Each structure stands twice: as C-alpha cells, then as structure tokens.
Structure 1
Amino acid sequence: MANATPPPISAQLARPSPSFRLRTSNLNNLRLRRVFDLFDRNGDGEITVEEICQALDRLGLGADPTELASTVAAYIRPGAAGLAFDDFEALHRALGDALFGAPPSPACEAAEEEDMREAFNVFDENGDGFISAKELQAVLDKLGLPDGRSIDRVHQMICSVDRDLDGQVDFSEFVHMMRAITVQSS
C-alpha cells in the first residue's frame, strides 16, 4: 500500500517501548543526548519539526508534521527555530510522565544492572557475552553514526574501554564505561 498515511504520533505512543525511560538517569540522559544528536542533522544545536519528522520517517514511524508541530511548539523557546537539548529533554520527560506517570525514584543497584544488561545486549548481537568490533560497528551503522563506517575507529573505541586487552568489551568493562560517562550539559 504505497503512500499510506501513518497513524498519528499519539496513537503510536499509546504502546510505548519499556525502554522509553530507563530507571537510571545517567543512562537515560546519555541515550537522550545521542538521540538528540542523531535528530539534529545539521548540527546547529536545535531540532526542528522537520528534522524530527525526517528521523521518525527513517525509523518507520512517520508522523503528521502538523500534529507534531502542535505537540512540539509548546517546548520551543520564543525566537528559536527548534528544540534545544534542554527543550527536547523537557518534551521527553513530559511524554514519559504522560505515558508512565511520574519518574521512578532513584533505582537500586539491581535495577541499574538490569538496565545496563539491556543496553549491553543491544550491542552483543550474538549473545556470547562480549561486544566485538564487528558487533559494535553493526550497531553504529544501524544508528547512522559515522564512526561505524571505519573499522579502525571501532577498534579504537573498543581499545579505550578494553581493560583486559582481549580485543572485545565484556559486561564488566561496559558497566565501567557507562558509569564513567558524564553527560556535559550544553
């Protein structure tokens, strides 16, 4: 069915992913920053409604630009062309609160480890307990990140966290890396 109209974005959000908002704020902020950077195609530090529509289309989640514009407009600062990261974060938080209720209280270690395991499993495609250069490159490529185009760059990324020097990232190294990451506010 060519040119079928996608369901409205509000209908698509009625069945949110359980990972929409992770229990740990550091992982959530890191992931949200990466999403923001992916949506900000021209790198100007703002995401326009057009950029959001393009990103949703690429993800197979086409949205009605008019409906999206009316949802996003309340979060765009006067005089701005689009959402700055803080605005995008506020929109994400509001959508999360509307879909899931208030955010959970600070997570215990078990919940954090579960989130870490979920994130690790995204990269560990073959389930062997390690992230290889090939697996990391595949995920980066799927995300459309330029680092995924160069296997040398992927090897550098792995070497930067590979504490036991086996050429791959195990869960412990992944957790250590994730805990060391600090999201710099813009």
Structure 2
Amino acid sequence: MIPEPRDLAPEEIDRMVEAILFAALAPLTVAEIAERLPPGCDPRPALLRLQGTYEGRGVNLLRAGGTYAFRTAPDLRHLLVREVVETRRLSRAAIETLAVVAYHGPATRAEIEEVRGVSVSRGTLDQLVELGWVRLGRRRPTPGRPATYVTTDAFLDHFGLESPADLPNLADLRAAGFLGDPTVQEALSLPDPKP
C-alpha cells in the first residue's frame, strides 16, 4: 500500500528522493523525481534539504540547469583520478623520422624525406608531435617558407639526455653493437649531433 503524502514525514520523502537520485544513471529533473514518488509528493523541499545535508561532505547534491545529481565534491576530485600509462610502439617510419629530426634538426619535411629516401606521411609527424617529442620550429627563410621540426625537452627527458649533443654518434652506435653490418656502417650518413 502506497502511503498518502500527508502521512509521510519530510525525512521519509528526503530518504526517497535520496534513493532515487543515488540510483539514477543520469541527472534527473524535478518532474522525473516526482514521477517516482507517491502521488502528490513535491520533491523540491526535499532537494533543498538534501543539498544542505550534503554540503561540505565528500558527495554533494548539485543542480545543473534543471536537473539534479550527486557528484564528488570538487576539492576531492583529485582522489578519483586514475592515471594509466599507455605504452605505444613507434613504427619504423616514426623511429627513422625521429632520428632524422634529432640528428639533423631543425629539419623540414623535404629534408626528412631526402635523408630517409621515402616520403613522410602526415600521421608519422603527427604521432611524434602528439607524443611531445617533436614540435614545429621556425620557418626557413627560403621560397615557400617551409616549417621545420625540432626535438623537445620531453624527448631529451624521455631518453635521459641533457642536450642534443648527448646523442650517440656513429662510433658510440658501433661500440654498442647497433651497427653490426659493415655495409650499413659505410652507407650511413650520421652527423655528429649539433651542440
């Protein structure tokens, strides 16, 4: 048997409104709350009382436009942030492009393509920019004023370098065993990093 509104204490209506809002998947309007209450119950006074009750607590009853919902207190949102480190492997094209920018930078797209011997897709440079390892540099004072690409401090930080001068040179790469094939060593045009 559904109780009559006149038989319900304000605290009981508060409990009903609180339960309705707590279980709601989305913010609710006053009319949507009223539909779920016993006929004749007005949720507005209960909403005002609940706002006062939850003020200063970990969860607040907030009004957004014409809707109401429970939300985490703004000063505690940082407790609910969960940072996830997403590891992504760079494609061979991205690694080669990054190496060209690191060793030859500032480098234009045409210069990157010339060193690599193939065209550079827009997505490759976009990925490096999104990672924060490459950024746009100054435009070259040549016809067409092409944009240049340079490495960033985030790139240096990620690879534990103090400056671009700390990049390994050809002798370092040979000593580390990265250049085991002598034919590759002869064909490489790896400049010493610019100070």
Give the TM-score band, short-chain normalised: under 0.3
Query: Which one has the largest radius of gyration?
Result: 2
- Larger RCO (alpha carbons 8 Å, 6+ apart): 1
TM-score, normalization: structure 2?
A: 0.26
- Larger strand fraction of residues: 2
